[in-house]
Amino acid sequence: MANINRILGTFILILGIISSFPNLAFSGTKKEVIYFKNTDYEVHVFILEGKEPGHTVLIVGGLHGDESGGFLAAEAFTKVDIKKGKLIIIPRANLPAIQLRRRYVNVDMNRRFFLEGSFADSDLYEDKVVAIIKKYIKQSDVVLNLHCGSGFYRPRYINHLENPLRWGQSIIADDDKIYFEDGKKVNLRAIAERVITYLNSVVKDPKYYYHFNNTRTRYPDSIHPEQRVSLSFYSLYGARAIAFGLETSKELPLDYYKAYYHICAIKRFLDLFGIVYTGDPKPLFHPPHLKYLLCSIDGHLTCIRNKDTVGVPYGARFKVEKVIARFGYPSVVDIPDVKGLNDRGKEVIIDSPKRVFVRKDGKVYASINVVPLPKFKEDIGLIIKVNGQKRRVAIGETISITPKDHLYLCDVFGLKEEVKVNLLGFAPPGRHNRGEDRGVLIHPEKAHFIRRYAMFEQGYTVYPINITNEKYLLGTVFLRIRSIR
């Protein structure tokens, strides 16, 4: 267990370094705050702040789970470097709905922003998330609420897809103007029209032109009274922040444009409110690639790659601790018959074969199989020579060396069957890599390692050494090398 905590501590440390980014190659700072960690409704908040003060803009995507353009556009801005002002980004506010690829789960999250009262103690996860979003709304000068709406908003009725009751391709405000207590007047329509002028120069096709949609929400004759409990209305009248709804159309021919037009709109809003940044935000459509799952089996850590089958003792305690993937944020783990939408961190007893799926935004991109085997009569592991001295390292344990040490994988103990020993990431010199690294003298200082298989901690690089038979992964030993660059 101490080894698990140490390895997991490595990831936490690195995530902290990556997400805090203090003065790393750019002038601003970034940090990531995670709420409701290891729950189905985990919320990630990205805070990007420039050295020069300015307005604070909040971008919220994914209130509705079937509107991918919003959360992909919001996610794109988590990669920029802020020079002036501050960005707060909540890309995937409603993670369960996104995983299920539907508008909402229990209640419509964009109908829970009541002006009065707090529902943080509600049994509904939607209300807990709304309470977090409200906290950030109150810290913001400007709020952008991203959606993908049906049809095309038009001020006058044209047909069933183009009329005043549709939402797509519009910039929405709850009124033309807002008057604040200090006497300041903000012309919401004028701001939106400037954004729309720019957007339509990008769109070019009149069929997809944007229009300004004043929902006149607070007026008795409004055709959209339901918006009085929306995020935008709460921002404007509950928190006195300038707020706009941004809508691309679900009828756009490609998903790319649903995100791209949002990005163009956000860029123009940031320009108008004086947010200065570097970087070119683009929607991320790369398919995720699983490097491996970091799993705990009876307290021992094991790295399992996509499509692998791992054999574990019958009745073993199995848990997925971490998903290590390229373009994998935010990945969830799904083990059928286990309650919930995200099974990462949940302990499962393996008394029958299990399939473990890894999903992003509701789509499966990797899976592993876990099968019960008869219990081993004794511990298994590796006999490893370091500078000629033999050491016994059990599965789940770590051996630490320096780059100048000489490493030799001798053999496996505790097993009589034929197995392979594979140091993931190690490319043996002068021969075909057949996944068997016993009998090779390894000089870490000179050896070629493929870093995509590595885990990192401050001053160290960690590579898994997997023990497999013809069918199953049987366990992992970890090689910890100091100061590999």
The predicted-structure confidence for 251-292, as pLDDT tens digits, reads as follows 999 999 999 999 999 999 999 999 999 999 998 888 899 999
Residue bearing the bigger pLDDT, 349 or 301 = 349
Please give the sequence-ordered ranges of beta strands (E in DSSP) within 207-305, or none if there are none. Answer: 211-214, 242-249, 276-278, 289-297, 300-304
pLDDT band at 25 (very low <50, low <70, confident <90, very high): very low
Quick check: helix, strand or coil at residue 396?
Answer: coil
Q: How far apart are CA 171 and CA 152, in angstroms?
A: 11
Model pTM greater than 0.85? Answer: no
Q: Tell me what pLDDT residue 116 has.
A: 82
**Is residue 146 over pLDDT 50?**
yes
**Is residue 310 over pLDDT 80?**
yes
Rounded to an integer, the average pLDDT of 55-63 is: 98
In this structure, are residues 50 and 80 in contact, taking their beta carbons and an 8 Å threshold? Answer: no
Q: Tell me what pLDDT residue 446 has.
A: 81
Nearest CA to 293 out of 349, 355, 379 is that of 355
Q: Tell me what pLDDT residue 42 has.
A: 94
**Is residue 7 over pLDDT 70?**
no
Quick check: helix, strand or coil at residue 296?
Answer: strand
Percent above pLDDT 70 for the chain: 91
Percent above pLDDT 90 for the chain: 69
Q: Tell me what pLDDT residue 20 has.
A: 42
Q: How far apart are CA 276 and CA 145, in angstroms?
A: 20
pLDDT digits (tens, 9 = 90+) for 311-350: 888 899 999 999 999 888 889 999 998 998 999 999 999 9
Of 37-51, 109-123, 224-238, 351-365, least confident by mean pLDDT is 109-123
pLDDT digits (tens, 9 = 90+) for 62-120: 999 999 999 999 999 999 999 999 999 999 999 999 999 999 999 999 999 998 876 66
Q: How far apart are CA 467 and CA 190, in angstroms?
A: 65
pLDDT band at 121 (very low <50, low <70, confident <90, very high): confident
Q: How far apart are CA 456 and CA 466, in angstroms?
A: 18
154-157, Cβ contacts within 8 angstroms, sequence gap of 24 or more: 154/211, 155/211
**Is residue 13 over pLDDT 50?**
no
Q: Tell me what pLDDT residue 325 has.
A: 92
Chain-wide mean pLDDT for the chain? 89
**Is residue 204 over pLDDT 90?**
no
Quick check: helix, strand or coil at residue 120?
Answer: coil
Of 43-57, 282-296, 406-420, 427-441, least confident by mean pLDDT is 427-441
Q: Tell me what pLDDT residue 1 has.
A: 45
Helix axes 255-272, 188-203, angle to 10 degrees: 140
Rounded to an integer, the average pLDDT of 17-26 is: 41
Q: Tell me what pLDDT residue 145 has.
A: 99
Q: Write out the H or E segment, with its range, that includes residue 137.
A: helix 125-137
In this structure, are residues 304 and 312 in contact, taking their beta carbons and an 8 Å threshold? Answer: no
Rounded to an integer, the average pLDDT of 348-375 is: 92
Return the structure tokens found at 46. 């990205």
In this structure, are residues 450 and 427 in contact, taking their beta carbons and an 8 Å threshold? Answer: yes
Q: How far apart are CA 333 and CA 366, in angstroms?
A: 10
Of 112-116, 120-124, 356-360, 429-433, least confident by mean pLDDT is 429-433
Q: Tell me what pLDDT residue 368 has.
A: 96
